[in-house]
């Protein structure tokens, strides 16, 4: 019984500290590792200024969504036929950013300390999605037939803003 109480207290304290951390992290310049953060600080370039091929081997990029109340996170990316695609898998049930991008497609991407203002276009072509899955499997050394192959993934292409 005593162990159970200690475990409950430990969980409660961890939750309280983590909850306070989310508030603080939301004010940071971008994400902190895998924890989401706030708006990127610094000047931004238009999306069309990027040459995505030069960053094809970069393992992670930072994505900022929801311009009205910016939120940023670290994610993977794949360069395919000169375009940068960002995957959003739904292994975690609390992932909100893909739905936020559907509501407002204006995003900012930070890669190699450069910020690009882009528009996220959801890829829906099944053949393209299959190619992107293969590219991601190669880049991140994933099993094409493993659990990731059965996970729902939305892919977003970083495109020029039309505002």
Q: What pLDDT sits at residue 20?
A: 43
Average pLDDT for residues 120-131, to the nearest whole number?
96
Q: What pLDDT sits at residue 83?
A: 98
Average pLDDT for residues 3-21, to the nearest whole number?
44
Return the CATH number at 74: 2.30.110.10
Other beta carbons within 10 angstroms of residue 103's beta carbon come to: 8
Which is it for strands 78-80 and 71-75: parallel, antiparallel or unpaired?
unpaired
Half-sphere exposure of 119 (CA within 13 A, CB side): 9
Selected residue with higher pLDDT from 133 and 95: 133
Q: Is the pTM of this model over 0.85?
A: no
Residue 70 carries which DSSP code? Answer: -
With pLDDT > 70 as the criterion, what percentage of the chain qualifies? 81
Per-residue pLDDT for 90 more than 60? yes
What is the residue-averaged pLDDT of the chain?
85
What is the span of the domain harbouring residue 59?
Answer: 2-159
pLDDT in tens, 36-76: 999 999 999 999 999 999 999 999 999 999 999 999 999 99
Residues in the chain: 163
Q: What pLDDT sits at residue 63?
A: 97
Per-residue pLDDT for 160 more than 90? yes
Overall number of domains in the chain = 1
Q: Which of 57, 154, 58, 62 is nearest to 108 (CA)?
A: 62
Cβ–Cβ < 8 Å for 116, 55? no
Cβ–Cβ < 8 Å for 116, 62? no
Structure tokens at 161: 């803003």
Q: CA 98 to CA 101: how far, in whole Å? A: 5
């Amino acid at each position: 019984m005593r162990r159970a109480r200690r475990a409950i207290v430990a969980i409660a304290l961890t939750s309280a500290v983590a909850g306070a951390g989310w508030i603080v992290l939301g004010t940071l310049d971008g994400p902190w590792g895998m924890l989401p953060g706030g708006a990127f600080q610094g000047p931004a370039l238009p999306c069309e200024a990027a040459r995505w091929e030069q960053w094809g081997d970069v393992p992670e990029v930072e994505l900022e969504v929801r311009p009205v109340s910016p939120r940023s996170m670290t994610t993977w990316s794949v360069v395919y036929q000169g375009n940068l695609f960002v995957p959003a898998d739904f292994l975690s049930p609390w992932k909100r950013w893909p739905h936020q991008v559907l509501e407002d497609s204006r995003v900012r991407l930070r890669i190699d300390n450069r910020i690009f203002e882009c528009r996220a276009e959801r890829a829906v072509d099944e053949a393209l999605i299959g190619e992107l899955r293969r590219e991601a499997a190669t880049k991140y050394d994933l099993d094409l037939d493993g659990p990731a192959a059965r996970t729902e993934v939305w892919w977003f292409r970083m495109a020029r803003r039309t505002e």
